[in-house]
Amino acid sequence: MVVTGTLALFLKDLLASIILFSAFSFFAVLIYLALGAPDVAFTEAVVGVVSTTFFIAALRRLKRGCSR
């Protein structure tokens, strides 16, 4: 979890950072389940999916590669 969080901060490619953020959220869900908190794990899963979808939609609107 520490590795995915750190890499997501320092990568230059935004899509790769979003994917690592999603992996970070997945590992958080696993940890919450292991600690016996399924309600927190479910909430983290929902927030992770919604925020990942939002970040990808925002990234598509950035139009990377345009030289204007």
Question: What percent of the chain clears pLDDT 70, i.e. is strictly above it?
Answer: 93
At 33 the pLDDT is 97
Q: Count CA within 13 A, CB hemisphere, residue 44.
A: 18
Per-residue pLDDT at 68 exceeds 90:
no
Residue 14 makes CB contacts below 8 A (sequence gap 6+) with: 59, 62, 64
Q: Domain locations in the chain?
A: 2-62
Output the pTM of the full model: 0.80
At 12 the pLDDT is 87
At 28 the pLDDT is 95
Q: What is the pLDDT of residues 4-42, one digit of tens each?
A: 988 888 988 888 999 999 999 999 999 999 999 999 999
